[in-house]
Structure 1
Amino acid sequence: MMAQDKSPLSIILKGIENSYNIQFNYAPDNIDQVFIRAPDSNLSLQEVLLYLENNTDLKFNSSENGIIIITTKPLGKFCGYIKSKEDGLPIEQATIQTKTSGTISDKHGYFEIDIKSINDRIVIRSLGFKTLNLSANRAQKATCMDIVLEPNIQSLSEVYLTNYITSGITKTNLGTYEIDFSKFDILPGLIDTDVFLSLQAFPGVLSVDETATNLNIRGGSHDQNLILWDGIKMYQSGHFFGLISLYNPQITKDVLLIKNGTNASYTDGISGTISMNTETKLNPKTTASIGFNLVDLNGFLDLKISDKSSVEIAARKSLYDYLKTPTFNRYFERITQNPDYENNTSNVLNTNEDFDFYDFSLRWLYEISPKDKLRLNFINASNKLVFDENTVIDNLERSKESKLTQNSIAGSLFYERIWNEKINTSVEFYETDYKLEATNANLLEDQRFLQENQISESSLKLINKYKINNRFNISLGYQFVETEITNLDDVDNPIYRLLVSEVLRTNGLFSEMAYISSNKKTYLNFGLRYNYIHKFKKSLMEPRLNFSHRFWNYFSVEILGEFKSQNTSQIINFQNDFLGVEKRRWQLSNNSSIPVIQSKQGSFGINYSKNSFLISSEFYYKYISGITTQSQGFTDQFQFEKSSGTNSVYGMDLLLKKSFPNYNIWLSYSYMDNKYTFKSISQNPFPSNFDITHAASFGSSYTKNSFKFSLGLNWHTGKPITEPVKGNEIVNNEINFQSTNSSRLDSYFRADVSALYTVDLNSKIKGEFGGSIWNVFGTENIINKFYTLKDDTVIETNELSLNFTPNLSARFIF
C-alpha cells in the first residue's frame, strides 16, 4: 500500500506543467506505476527537475523549444566487438538494438549501447549474417566482449507482413508465403499442423473436392503443383487417398507457398510451388514426443548425436488395425462412397475391408566444419485398401480380392560449402520413387483388371551464390533431371496387356540477380531459367520477376511474373477406375498428343498495414497451354476425349485482417474467371472444371496463455458440371448432355472449430490436448455430380463432402 501523501507521477507532471508553463514529453509506459511526493512549490524549475530525477529512475532532459523529454535511466553501458565467425574480421555497420535504444558498429566492429533493464534483449543484425539475440543479464557479465556472427548467405528477402493470417504466417518481399509451425497458433478445424489443409487458409488456394491434398492454386489442377520435401520432388501427397497430408507435421518445421514469381532454381509446378522444410539448425539437446488422435498414432525424436550432429525421426501409423474410431469411419465412408466400391451390383457384397497407412521420415544434419554442412533426408510412405468381393453365380459362392496400394520412397543428400562471407556453394542429389498398384475384381464377368503407375526420378542440382555487396546478390546454377514413368494395364479376360515406359531427361541452367535498396524499401529479383529437353530437342526460356516497394510508411506494392513449364501430368482414364477411390495416374509428355505444359503468369498486388490492421490484395492473369482433356477430370461425354487445349485464368485474391491482444480475425475473398479452350469440344471458351467464381472464408483465433481456440466459416460457389438435357436425356443409346459445364453445383458451406490446451505435467513432460469439429452443422455439400447410363436409365451419382467429423488429440512432449 502506497503512502497517503504520494501521488501518481502523471498527476504531478500536469501540475508542474501548469505552474512553470512547460511541457513534458514521455512514453506512458515509462511513468506508469510511479508514485512520489509532490515537490515543494517554492523550488525553481531546475530544482524541481533535480528532485524528480533523485526520486525516480527517470532522466529529465531539456530541449531548445522548452519541452522536457523524459527517458528511463540506463543501468549501464554494454560494449563489444562484432566479428565474423568465418574469418574473424570486424563487421562494420552492424545494427545493435534494445527495446529503447540502438546504435551501429564502427570499422573496428566496436559499439556501445545503454542497457536500461535487466530484461532487455540485445539484438544484433548485419546483412549476410544470422541475427543474434543476447540477454542484458548475460551482457553485463562481460566488458567489451567479442561477439561472433555466423554468415547467412541467402537471397536478399525480408519479411514484409508478419502474422499474415495468424501467428507464424508471414509474407516476404518475394511475394511468397511462409508458415513457421514452431510459431504457429491454430486454424479452424485443425488440431495438427496439416501442411495442405493449412495452405487452404490462403486466398486463391482451395480444393474443389474438399480433400487435403488436391490443391487448386488459382484454378489449376493438383498435378500442376510442384511439391518439395527438403528439396525432393514428391509425386504422392496424401494419406487416406487425399484426406490428410502425407507429410508428418512433427518433422515439418515450415512450408513455403509460391503462387507466382517463382525462384529460377525451381522447375515444374506451373500453378504453384509448395516447399516443405525440416529444421536446419542443430538441436543443442535431445527432445521427443509421442501422440495420437482419432486417426493415427505418431512419434517424433530429435536426437543430439554430438555438438556437430543431430538426427530427426518421425513416424505415423493408422489406427485401423487397433481401433475403428468415429473419425476414422467418417474418413473411410468419404473415400469409399463411389458406387464402384459400394455397389458394383446388387448381387455383389464387399467384405473383409482392410485399410492402412503409415509414413516414416528421417533427417540427419552434420556440421563437418563451420564452413561445411551436410544433410541427409529419407521418407517412406504407404496407403493400402484391400477388400473381398463376394457373390453367388450358378448357386456357387465366388470371392475375389480387390486392392489398391500407393507407396513412395525417396532420399536426398545436400552439401553446402561457405567459402567466405561472399561466396557459398550447394550441391543436392535426390532420388524419388512412387508406385500405385490397383487390382479390381469383376466377379460377374469373371475378370481381373490390374493397373500400375510407377515413377522413378533422379535429380542433381548445383547452385553457387555470390554476394557482391550489401545490396546485390547473384546466383548461378545447373540442374539435371531424369524421369521415368511406367504405366501398365493388364486384363485377364479377355487377355489384354499394355505396358508403356518412357524416359525424359532435362538439363537446366539458371541465374538470378537480387537487389535491395539501402533503405530496404525497394526489392528486385530477376531470374532466367533455360531448360533443354534432349528427347524432343526442345529449348525453353523461362524468365522470373519479383519487384516490391514500400511507400507512405504503411503501403507496399508488388509486381510478380513468371514463365514455367513441366513435363508430367496426371490422367483420368474413366470415372470408375481404381475402385472409384484413386483416379489419377502420372504420365510423361510426348511432345505431340501430350504436349509439354507451359504457363505465363503476371500479377500486381498492393498491401496496407497499420495498427494491427492488414489489407492485402493481388490481381493476376495466368495462361496455360498444353493441358489435355484427360488431365482435367471431365465426367461428361468428353471423359474419353484425348485432345490438348489451353486454360486462361484471371482473378483477384483479397485478405482483410485485424489483430487484437490475444485475438485475430480475418476475412479472405477470391474471384476467378477460369476458362478452357478445347477446339475438339467447343469453338468457344467454356468454364474450367476448377472454376470456383467466388470463394470466401472467415476465421478467428484466440490465444490466452496455454489455451488456443479457433472458429471459421468457408463458402464458395459450386463447381461447373454438365447435365443431361431435361426431357431428352437419351439419344442413340447415349446420354444427351447439355453444353459442357453449363450448370453448377449448389454453393458449398462449412463451419469448423478447434481448440488446444498445453499444460506442464511435470518438470520434464509437457502435455498438449486438442479437439476439433469439421463441418459443425453437418452441412450436406455435393462436391461432384456425374451421370451414367444403365439399362436405358440415366443414373445420377452425387459425391458428398465430409459430414460432421469430430477429432481429439493428445501429445506428450519430453
Structure 2
Amino acid sequence: MRSKTRLVLFLCIILSHTWQVMAQEKVLLPEILKMVEIKFDVQFNYASENINHLLVPSPIPNLNLEEVIEFLEKETNLKFIESENRIIIISKKPDTHICGYILNKEDGLPIEQATIQNKNFGTVSNKNGYFEIEIRNHEDLLIIRSLGFNTMNLKASEFQKTKCNIIFLEQNVHSLSEVYLTNYITNGISKTNLGSYEIDITKFDILPGLIDADVLQSVQAFPGILSIDETVSNINIRGGSNDQNLILWDGIKMYQSGHFFGLISIYNPQIVKNVLVIKNGTSASFTDGVSGTISINSNKELNTKTKGSIGFNLIDLNGYLDLKISNKSSIEIAARKSLYDFIKTPTFNRYFERITQDPEFENNTTNIVNKNEDFDFYDFSLRWLYEISSKDKLSVSFINAYNKLVFDENTIVDNRERSKESKLTQNSIAGSLLYNRFWNEKLNTTFEFYESDYKLQATNANIIEDQRFQQENQISESSLKVFGNYKFNKSLKLNLGYQFVETEITNLDDVDNPIYRLLVSEVLRTNGLFSELAYNSSNNQTQINFGIRYNYINKFNKNLLEPRLSFTHKFWNNFSIEVLAEFKSQNTSQIINLQNDFLGVEKRRWQLSNNNSIPIIKSKQASFGINYSKNNFLISSEFYYKHISDITTQSQGFVDQHQYVKSIGDNNVFGLDFLLRKSFTNYNFWISYSFMDNKYSFNSISTNPFPSNFDVTHAVTWGSSYTKNKFKFSLGLNWHSGKPYTKPVEGNEIVDNKVNYQPTNSSRLDSYFRVDVSAIYDINISKKVKGEFGASLWNILGTKNIINTYYTINNGSVIQTNEFSLGFTPNVSARFIFK
C-alpha cells in the first residue's frame, strides 16, 4: 500500500513538473487530456478528428478539474459535458458565426452593401452578396436592410449549420426605378428604365473640375443640361429657364439653390445619397417643374455604426456626422461655413470677383468707393431616421442655408464724407416629415409633409441721390401628400395619391426718397389627385408607366389634367428604345429686373400666378430615344420636342428693348441629346453633344418667332477619367455656341434718348470654351481614419468667356457692358473620414 501511495505521489510530482514545462508553449490537446485523466481520475470521450489537430497552452498546475475544463473550453471552442462514471464527452460547440448570400428576388443578382445587424454585431454584404456575422445564441434576431428593398427579420436558428443561407430581398415598391444602363457617364451615374438619370453619390467617381460631388454642378454633365451663365442657380434643362425646374431636397420644394449667389449649390454632398434627374416622363406624383425635375435625397437606411468626417477646401470648412443612436434609430448632420471670416484664399477671391463684377456693385461714378465688404454663407442639414417596427418607418429632414453680402458706399459731398450701407441676404429654412407603413408584401402607404420658407432681403443705398431702396421677396409653402402603392403581382403595380399645396409669396418695394411703399402678398392653394400604373414584363424587357395627375386651383376655379408616360423596351440583347411624354404645369415663376435690382447680384424675385397678366405656365413634351450598350461601350441618343405656353417676358431675362415689356407668349424647342461612352479597366471617356432649336413667340413682339434667350444651338462636352487603386484623375472640356443677344443699330444707336436696337436676339456672343482638370487621392491614415485629398483647376487656360452683354446710355453715349465667366480658378481640399 505504501508503495502504491509513493508511486502516485511520484507521478503527481512528475506531472506537475511536466505541466510547468508545457505551460511555456502550446502542445497537442490529446497529450493534455491524458495528463488530466491521470491527475483527476476521469475519462474523455471524443471524436479524434475534432481534437487531434488542436494546439493549446497547458492549464496552470494548481487548477481543480472544474477550472481546467473551463480553461480548455475557452481555448478550444469545444464543449465538455460531464456524464456518468466520471466520463467527460467532448463535442464541437454550436457555430458562433453564420453566413449567407443576399440576392435580389426579382433577378437573382447579388446585393452589395446590404446591412446585417443583430443585438451585438453588424456587418455589410460584399459585391457577391456574401456576409458573415457573429451571434451569441441561436435566438438572436438578424435585421437585413438594403436601400430600395423591404427590410427582412430572421432568427439565427433559421440559418443552416453546414452551409450558407441564400436570402432573397423583395424590392420596395416605392423605391427608385430599376437601373438598366449603369455607369452612364462615369461610375455612380446610371439611367433608369423610366428614362430618368440617377447619381449615386456614395459610388460617384470623379468629374473634371470637381473635387466634391457638388450636386448641381454634377447634373450639368448630362447632355441637354447646362447653365448659360455658369451658375448652379440658373440651370437650363433643354432650353428652359431656371424657374421652370423643380428642385426637391428630401421631398421639399426648394426656392434657393446656390451659395455665392449661384456659384456652388447649397446641398452639402456629404449628406446626399442620390440624385434623380428627370428631363421628361415625370412620375404623376410630382407637380411643378415644366422643364425638369432634380430630386436630391439623403440616405433612407439606418447606419450600422457611427461615422463622420471633417474637411476643408479653399472656399469653406465642412463637417459630417452619421450617429447611430440605437439599432432602430440614427441621425445624420452636415454643415458648411465660408472661409471669408478666417482667410481670403485665391479661390474665394476669384468667386467674389465673379459675383461682384456688375456695375451696380462696382463704382457707379469716380466719386463713389465701396468699402468694408463683408461676405458670408453657411448651410446646415439634418436627417433623423427611426424604425418604429419592421413595418413602420419615420424620417425627419431639415435644412437651413444662408448668404450675406454687405458693403458701404462712400463719397465726399460738400467737403464731408458720407457713407451708406447696402446689404443683401438670402435664407432658406425647410423641414419635412415622412412616414412609411408596410402593411404586407403587396401594399405600403406613405405620408409626407413639408414646410419650405425662403426670404430674400436687399437694402440698396444710392448715396448721390440720398436714397434708400429696400426690397423683399418672401415665400412660405406647405405641402401634405398621402399615397399608397399596391403590387398586384410581379409585373403590375398601382400608385394612388393626393397632395395639397399652399403657397404664399410676399413682395415688398420700399423707397424713402420720395416715399413709396408697395406690399403685395398672395396665396394659392392647389389640390392634386394622381394615379400611376406600372407594368414590367416577366422577362424584364418591357416597362410601361402610365400616370395621370389632376390639379384643381380653387382661387381660379381651374382644372388641369396632366397625363404622363414612360415606355422602355430592350431588344436584340444590346439595344433599347424609350418613349417619354408628359403634360405639366406650375403656378410660380421669377421676374428679373436688371437695373438696380438686388444690387445687381441676385436679380430674381419669385411671384405667384394671378391667372391674368401672370398665367399658369403649362408644358407638353415628347421624346424618342434609342440606346446601344455592349462590352462597356454605350451609344445613347434622344430626340425631343417641348412646348411651353403662357410664359412672360419678365421671367425670361431680357436686357434689351423688351426688358420692361409685359407680354405673354410661348416657347418651342426641338432638340437632340447624344452621348458616346467607352470604359476600360482603369480608364473611362465620354463625349456628349446637344443640338437645340429654341424659339420664342410673344403677343406684343412683332419679330416672331425669334431665338430664345437660352438658345444654345450646339453644345459639346468631352470628359475622361482614370482610376488606379486609390488615385482618381479627370480631364475634360466644355464648348457651346454663344447665346443670342441684341445689338444697337450701327450709326443710329440712340432714338428718343433710348437705345435703338436691331431685331431681337439677332446677334450671338462668341462661343464658350473651358478646360478643367481634377484629381483625388485616398490614403488610410490608420485603421479608423482615412484621408481624402484633392486638387482641381477650373478653366485652366484662363479663357475669358463673355456670358452676357447689355447696353445702357450714359451722357448721351451707348455703353456696352460685358459679364465674364469664372477665370482660372484653382482649388484644393482635404477630408478626414472617421470609420
Same fold (TM > 0.5): yes
- Tell me the residue number matched to 1:769: 789
Q: CA deviation at 1:235?
A: 0.2
> What SS does the corresponding residue of 1:213 show, helix, strand or coil?
helix
CA contact (8 A) 1:298 1:314 kept: yes
Q: Measured at CA, do residues 128 and 322 of structure 1 come closer, stay the same or move farther in structure 2, by a change above 3 Å?
A: closer
Q: Does 1:672 align with 2:670?
A: no
Pick from 550, 564, 581 the counterpart of residue 601 of structure 2: 581
Q: Measured at CA, do residues 155 and 243 of structure 1 come closer, stay the same or move farther in structure 2, by a change above 3 Å?
A: closer
- Which amino acid in 1 is paired with 2:512? D
Q: CA deviation at 1:763?
A: 1.1
Q: Does 1:370 align with 2:390?
A: yes
Pick from 733, 738, 744 the counterpart of residue 713 of structure 1: 733
- Tell me the residue number matched to 1:530: 550
Structure 1 residues 392-411: aligned runs within 5 Å:
392-411=412-431
Structure 1 residues 453-464: aligned runs within 5 Å:
453-464=473-484
Q: CA deviation at 1:752?
A: 0.1
Pick from 260, 271, 290 the counterpart of residue 251 of structure 1: 271
> What SS does the corresponding residue of 2:504 show, helix, strand or coil?
strand
Q: Distance in 2 between matches of 1:243 and 1:365?
A: 31
Q: Does 1:308 align with 2:328?
A: yes
Pick from 345, 363, 372 the counterpart of residue 352 of structure 1: 372
- Tell me the residue number matched to 1:554: 574
- Tell me the residue number matched to 2:563: 543
- Tell me the residue number matched to 1:802: 822
- Which amino acid in 1 is paired with 2:489? N
Q: Does 1:199 align with 2:180?
A: no
- Tell me the residue number matched to 2:188: 168
Q: CA deviation at 1:159?
A: 1.1
Q: Distance in 2 between matches of 1:141 and 1:437?
A: 67
| CA offsets 1:524-575 (integer angstroms, 9 cap, x no match) | 0000000000100000000000000001111000000000000000001333
Q: Measured at CA, do residues 151 and 614 of structure 1 come closer, stay the same or move farther in structure 2, by a change above 3 Å?
A: closer
> What SS does the corresponding residue of 2:360 show, helix, strand or coil?
helix
Q: Distance in 1 between matches of 2:204 and 2:567?
A: 28
Q: Does 1:222 align with 2:242?
A: yes
> What SS does the corresponding residue of 2:289 show, helix, strand or coil?
coil
Between Structure 1 and Structure 2, whose CA radius of gyration is higher? 2
- Which amino acid in 1 is paired with 2:754? E
CA contact (8 A) 2:734 2:769 kept: yes
Structure 1 residues 418-437: aligned runs within 5 Å:
418-437=438-457
State the TM-score, normalized to the length of structure 1: 0.84
Q: CA deviation at 1:396?
A: 1.1
- Tell me the residue number matched to 1:656: 676
Q: Measured at CA, do residues 213 and 143 of structure 1 come closer, stay the same or move farther in structure 2, by a change above 3 Å?
A: same
- Which amino acid in 2 is paired with 1:780? K
| CA offsets 1:301-360 (integer angstroms, 9 cap, x no match) | 000000000000000000000000000000000000001101211111000000000000
CA contact (8 A) 1:151 1:421 kept: no
Q: CA deviation at 1:576?
A: 3.2
Q: Distance in 2 between matches of 1:292 and 1:173?
A: 38
- Tell me the residue number matched to 2:297: 277
CA RMSD across the alignment: 2.4
- Which amino acid in 2 is paired with 1:750? R
> What SS does the corresponding residue of 1:242 show, helix, strand or coil?
coil
- Tell me the residue number matched to 2:346: 326
Q: Distance in 2 between matches of 1:495 and 1:583?
A: 23
- Which amino acid in 2 is paired with 1:567? N
CA contact (8 A) 1:97 1:122 kept: no
Residues 316-325 or 148-157, more deviating: 148-157
- Tell me the residue number matched to 1:45: none
How many aligned residue pairs are there? 708
Q: CA deviation at 1:98?
A: 7.6
Structure 1 residues 414-493: aligned runs within 5 Å:
414-493=434-513
Q: Distance in 2 between matches of 1:283 and 1:378?
A: 18
Q: Distance in 2 between matches of 1:119 and 1:601?
A: 39
> What SS does the corresponding residue of 1:347 show, helix, strand or coil?
coil
Q: CA deviation at 1:96?
A: 4.7
Unaligned segments of structure 1, at least 5 residues: 1-78, 85-90, 100-117
Q: Distance in 2 between matches of 1:206 and 1:131?
A: 39
Q: Distance in 1 between matches of 2:127 and 2:272?
A: 32
> What SS does the corresponding residue of 2:712 show, helix, strand or coil?
coil
| CA offsets 1:420-475 (integer angstroms, 9 cap, x no match) | 00000000000000000000000000000000000000000001100000000001
Q: Distance in 1 between matches of 2:367 and 2:611?
A: 46
- Tell me the residue number matched to 2:649: 629
Q: Measured at CA, do residues 394 and 619 of structure 1 come closer, stay the same or move farther in structure 2, by a change above 3 Å?
A: same
> What SS does the corresponding residue of 1:332 show, helix, strand or coil?
helix
- Tell me the residue number matched to 2:58: none
> What SS does the corresponding residue of 1:451 show, helix, strand or coil?
strand
Pick from 151, 154, 158 the counterpart of residue 178 of structure 2: 158
Pick from 296, 306, 324 the counterpart of residue 316 of structure 2: 296
- Which amino acid in 2 is paired with 1:249? P
Q: Distance in 1 between matches of 2:505 and 2:416?
A: 42
Q: Distance in 2 between matches of 1:147 and 1:599?
A: 46
Q: CA deviation at 1:152?
A: 1.8
After TM superposition, which residue ranges in structure 1, 4 or more long, deviate above 3 angstroms?
A: 79-84, 93-99, 118-132, 138-151
Pick from 714, 736, 751 the counterpart of residue 731 of structure 1: 751
| CA offsets 1:731-789 (integer angstroms, 9 cap, x no match) | 11111100000000000000000000000011111000000000000000000000001
| CA offsets 1:666-696 (integer angstroms, 9 cap, x no match) | 0000000000001212252000000000000
- Tell me the residue number matched to 1:813: 833
Q: Measured at CA, do residues 452 and 119 of structure 1 come closer, stay the same or move farther in structure 2, by a change above 3 Å?
A: closer
CA contact (8 A) 1:173 1:523 kept: yes
Q: Measured at CA, do residues 272 and 98 of structure 1 come closer, stay the same or move farther in structure 2, by a change above 3 Å?
A: closer
| CA offsets 1:15-46 (integer angstroms, 9 cap, x no match) | xxxxxxxxxxxxxxxxxxxxxxxxxxxxxxxx
Q: Measured at CA, do residues 749 and 146 of structure 1 come closer, stay the same or move farther in structure 2, by a change above 3 Å?
A: closer
- Which amino acid in 2 is paired with 1:649? V
Q: Distance in 2 between matches of 1:139 and 1:129?
A: 21
CA contact (8 A) 2:99 2:130 kept: no
- Tell me the residue number matched to 1:43: none
Q: Distance in 1 between matches of 2:401 and 2:428?
A: 5
> What SS does the corresponding residue of 1:241 show, helix, strand or coil?
coil
Q: Does 1:361 align with 2:385?
A: no
| CA offsets 1:144-164 (integer angstroms, 9 cap, x no match) | 748474662236832110000
Q: CA deviation at 1:94?
A: 6.6
> What SS does the corresponding residue of 2:217 show, helix, strand or coil?
helix
Q: CA deviation at 1:507?
A: 0.1
Q: Distance in 2 between matches of 1:125 and 1:375?
A: 16
CA contact (8 A) 2:110 2:127 kept: no
CA contact (8 A) 1:575 1:635 kept: no
Q: Distance in 2 between matches of 1:358 and 1:722?
A: 38
> What SS does the corresponding residue of 2:361 show, helix, strand or coil?
helix
Pick from 379, 398, 404 the counterpart of residue 384 of structure 1: 404
| Fraction of identical pairs, as percent | 73
Q: Distance in 1 between matches of 2:797 and 2:727?
A: 24
> What SS does the corresponding residue of 2:745 show, helix, strand or coil?
coil
Q: Measured at CA, do residues 129 and 190 of structure 1 come closer, stay the same or move farther in structure 2, by a change above 3 Å?
A: closer
Q: Measured at CA, do residues 441 and 222 of structure 1 come closer, stay the same or move farther in structure 2, by a change above 3 Å?
A: same
Q: CA deviation at 1:257?
A: 0.2
Q: Distance in 1 between matches of 2:755 and 2:679?
A: 54
CA contact (8 A) 1:153 1:421 kept: no
Pick from 595, 600, 611 the counterpart of residue 631 of structure 2: 611
Q: Distance in 2 between matches of 1:713 and 1:691?
A: 20
Q: CA deviation at 1:129?
A: 4.8
Q: Measured at CA, do residues 442 and 613 of structure 1 come closer, stay the same or move farther in structure 2, by a change above 3 Å?
A: same
